[in-house]
Amino acid sequence: MNDFGNRQVQNLPSHLTQYVVDQDYQSYTPQNHAVWRYVMRQNYDYLKKVAHESYVEGLEKTGIGIEDIPNLQTMNDILGKIGWGAVCVDGFIPPAAFMEFQAYKVLVIAADIRQINHIEYTPAPDIIHEAAGHAPIIANPAYAEYLRLFGEIGSKAISSSKDYELYEAIRYLSIIKEDPTTDPEEIKKAEIEIGKIESNMGKPSEMALIRNLHWWTVEYGLVGEMEDPKIYGAGLLSSIGESVECMTDRVKKIPYTVEAAHQAFDITEMQPQLFVTPDFRHLTKVLEEFADTMALRTGGMSGLEKAIESENLATAMYSSGLQVSGVIVEALKDNEGNPSYIRTEGPTALAYYNKELIGHDKSYHAHGFGSPVGKLKSSSKPVEDMNDAELEEVGIVLGENAKLEFESGVKVSGFVSNIRKDAFGKVLLITFTDARASLGDRDLFLPDWGYYDMAVGNSIDSVFNGPADIPAFELPKYAPKETTHKINYSEKERALHTLYKEVREIRNSGQTKSRLSEIWETLKSEHGNDWLLPMEILELVKGHPEFSKTEKEIQQFLEEKASAEAKLNKLIQDGMELLSAKSY
């Protein structure tokens, strides 16, 4: 993988680099560059008045130009100076991975660019949204830190069993909607399928809730005064349609609080309401408020129940610092409602502060793991804090048999074959042979099951998504059901792209403009549906007497097209207004 010589990209772990794809800069067509230029010129002209003050300055600071689709190498050269990096990915990636990239201070940028028929708003992530939307505001230090912290916290949010199914359905819909060759019936079926999944989601997971916060801030956030807010959300900064609509009274403005986590959104429609934060520091305050409700920070029985409901791989961290990573299927509780025993099924690994313990990988605990939680009946002091003498007092001696009873009623007996401590003497794990564990009449572990590794900890202090040591756990490779469709352009479309290229070269090099009238004649006769290239030609010939006939014809052509095709009316009118405002 190309790391662009960027420190942040170089530091990405392998489980994230698998999402990275080559930008393939040469694959962008001349029309793609024209689409970028049109959107960026419109956005810059409008957003410099309504976007947060960081936007204009941030374009330059993050290597985003108006004339050309940005090159990832150039972006990384510039982003590196403010401690960030950027990589390309294929469309939507799983939310947890997207957020973890943010935690590593790396922007993920969809390699593809919207087609001209979606120039105002694309249903799929594209380089206009990701680069021109997300990148500029990270030049603001307070916002950049919010983005990093959001990634760190959000990547630990527990997902439901339905979340990934919904993600795959949304990803599929975004891909086929952006493909101009897709049968409308296929799109309709995909939309119906999403509706079915959404109607059967059940209680929103932590990931669903924090994804809402991400949407209403990072993607669609407003900042400043309620009566006169400024735009900072990437979805608004990259949409020439919605950036205007969101400033009208038709879009309700709501003060940003943690309640935004419960406001759902429709990714395919303009948003009917938006949230306004007074400043970027307030974003972090709300994020912290939400994080305090997450299993990541609450742990305990409620955290374990979230993990069980998710049916996904999760990590439970004991108060000793020992972490158990696997699919948690059961959590017994004592009379006070606190966890007394936890159990996983399938491959499970043990770690200590995100570093897998040697000898306790998922192959060793291939069939699951179970262990008590809490204090012994015979002592008020947590086992993890006991020294050797105190361990001996409660009957835990290396090389001898032990009989332990926990306050919860869980009993463990067996021969103590190993006591594992950290460098500071904290007890993490006690291994027994010929062991038995039980609670009342229920057997939790029997002697013929092998070694019994008993986790040590007074409580479960944290529960979070995924394994503690991700590289060591070796998660399955990411394999989406659908990849972004690459468009096979017809011979006629390629001929049109050649004309775009000629006009681009004339504009960039200052070459003679005599060829422009001929290009216009070809457009009229062979590409009468195209409106963007005529506008680019008009920009170059406007006000020049020798092209007065061509200028008049193009002007009339665009006015007639705007009048005849409602979906092009605003695009053409906005483009014409920008040309009129330009000094020649």
pTM: 0.90
- The whole-number pLDDT of residue 223 equals 98
Whether 284 and 306 share a structural domain? no
**CA 364, CA 360: separation in Å to the nearest integer?**
6
Arithmetic mean of pLDDT, 491-502: 96
Given a cut of 80, whether residue 566 has pLDDT beyond it is yes
- The whole-number pLDDT of residue 582 equals 61
- Classify the C-alpha dihedral 24-25-30-31 as positive or negative: positive
Whether 227 and 335 share a structural domain? no
Contact 143, 137 (CB under 8 A): yes
Arithmetic mean of pLDDT, 204-212: 95
Sheet containing strand 106-110, edge to edge, reads 20-21, 85-89, 106-110
Does 214 map to a domain?
yes
- The whole-number pLDDT of residue 121 equals 75
Does 336 map to a domain?
yes
- Which domain-ending residue is among 473, 502, 529? 473
Contact 194, 170 (CB under 8 A): yes
Contact 507, 535 (CB under 8 A): no
- Which domain-ending residue is among 143, 177, 202? 202
**CA 418, CA 82: separation in Å to the nearest integer?**
49
Whether 360 and 431 share a structural domain? yes
Given a cut of 80, whether residue 583 has pLDDT beyond it is no
Does 1 map to a domain?
no
Lowest mean pLDDT among 439-443, 477-481, 495-499: 477-481
- The whole-number pLDDT of residue 15 equals 93
Question: What percent of the chain has a predicted confidence (pLDDT) above 70?
Answer: 99
**CA 409, CA 440: separation in Å to the nearest integer?**
7
Contact 463, 158 (CB under 8 A): yes
DSSP code string of 46-74 = HHHHHB-THHHHHHHHTT--SSSPPPHHH
CA angle 543, 547, 548 (to 5 degrees): 70
Q: Across all residues in the chain, what is the average pLDDT?
A: 94
DSSP code string of 97-151 = HHHHHHHTTEEEEES----GGGSS--SS--HIIIIIIITGGGGSHHHHHHHHHHH
The total domain count for the chain is: 4
Question: Quick one: which of 154, 285, 153, 143 has its CA closest to 223?
Answer: 143
Give the pLDDT confidence of 278-320 residue by residue, as tens digits: 999 999 999 999 999 999 999 999 999 999 999 999 999 999 9
Whether 196 and 209 share a structural domain? no
- The whole-number pLDDT of residue 125 equals 85
Whether 185 and 207 share a structural domain? no
The residue range of the domain holding 192 is 161-202
Does 114 map to a domain?
yes
Residue 155 gets which letter from DSSP? Answer: T
Does 417 map to a domain?
yes
C-alpha distances out from residue 154 to 13, 94, 212, Å: 17, 12, 11
Output the domain CATH number for residue 250.
Answer: 1.10.800.10
Q: What stretch of H or E contains 465?
A: strand 460-465
- Which domain-ending residue is among 152, 181, 202? 202
Given a cut of 80, whether residue 151 has pLDDT beyond it is yes
Residue in the block written with tokens 């030049």: 139
Give the pLDDT confidence of 237-282 residue by residue, as tens digits: 988 888 989 999 999 999 999 999 999 888 768 899 999 999 999 9
Arithmetic mean of pLDDT, 390-406: 97
- The whole-number pLDDT of residue 241 equals 82
- The whole-number pLDDT of residue 397 equals 98
Pairing of strands 273-277, 252-255: parallel
Q: What stretch of H or E contains 553?
A: helix 548-564
- The whole-number pLDDT of residue 85 equals 96
CB count, 10 Å around CB of 50? 18
Given a cut of 90, whether residue 389 has pLDDT beyond it is yes
Kindly indicate the confidence band of residue 584, based on its pLDDT and cuts at 50, 70 and 90.
Answer: very low
Kindly indicate the confidence band of residue 120, based on its pLDDT and cuts at 50, 70 and 90.
Answer: confident
214 or 199: whose pLDDT is higher? 214
What are the tokens at 162? 């339905």
Does 60 map to a domain?
yes
Contact 555, 573 (CB under 8 A): no
Whether 185 and 322 share a structural domain? no
**Long-range contacts: 71-79, Cβ < 8 Å, 24+?**
71/23, 71/25, 72/2, 72/4, 72/23, 72/25, 72/109, 73/4, 75/131, 75/135, 76/4, 76/5, 76/6, 76/9, 77/4, 77/5, 77/6, 79/6, 79/8, 79/107, 79/135
Residue 199 gets which letter from DSSP? Answer: T
Arithmetic mean of pLDDT, 445-459: 97
Residue in the block written with tokens 């989601």: 201
Arithmetic mean of pLDDT, 8-24: 95
Whether 261 and 316 share a structural domain? no
What are the tokens at 220? 């669609």
Kindly indicate the confidence band of residue 161, based on its pLDDT and cuts at 50, 70 and 90.
Answer: confident
